[in-house]
Amino acid sequence: MIDLTDLRKRPSAYQEAAKKKRIAVDVKAFLKLDDERRKFLVSVEEMRATKNKVSKDVPTMKGDAKAKAIAEMKQLSTTLKASEEKLAAIEQEWSMMQLLLPSVPLPNVPVGKDDTENREVRKVGDVTVHPSTLRSDSGQAGLGMTPSTLKDHVTLGTELDIIDIPRGVKVAGARSYFLKGDGARLELAVLLFTLDHLVKKGYTPFLPPLLANWEAMMGTSYFPGGEEQAYAVGVQHRRGEPIESDDAYLIGTSEVSVASYHKDEVLSEEELPKRYCGLSNCFRREAGTYGKDTHGLYRIHQFQKVEQVVLCVNDPEVSAQMHKELLTNAEEVLQALKLPYRIVDVCTGEMGRGQVFKNDIETWMPSRNAYGETHSCSTFYDFQARRLNIKYTTKNGEKKFVHTLNNTCIASPRILIPILEMYQNEDGSVTVPEVLRPYMSGQAVIKRRTQSP
Residues acting as catalytic residues: 284, 299, 373, 376, 414
How many CB atoms sit inside 10 A of residue 133's CB?
A: 14
- Select from 437, 422, 430, 432 the least CA-distant residue to 126: 422
Sign of CA dihedral 438, 441, 443, 446: negative
Looking at residue 397, the DSSP 8-state letter turns out to be S
Q: How far apart, in Å, are the Cα atoms of 106 and each of 103, 219, 253, 356, 358?
A: 9, 21, 24, 6, 10
In this structure, are residues 341 and 350 in contact, taking their beta carbons and an 8 Å threshold? no
Q: How far apart, in Å, are the Cα atoms of 171 and each of 174, 175, 337, 387?
A: 9, 11, 32, 38
Asked if omega into 366 is within 30° of 0 (cis), the reply is no
> What crossing angle do the helices spanning 316-336 and 182-199 adopt, rounded to 10°?
140
d(CA 373, CA 365): 10
Residues 6+ apart with CB under 8 A from 271: 392
d(CA 440, CA 259): 32
Long-range contact set of residues 39-45: C-beta below 8 Å, sequence gap at least 24: 40/83, 40/86, 40/87, 40/90, 41/87, 43/83, 44/80, 44/83, 44/84, 44/87
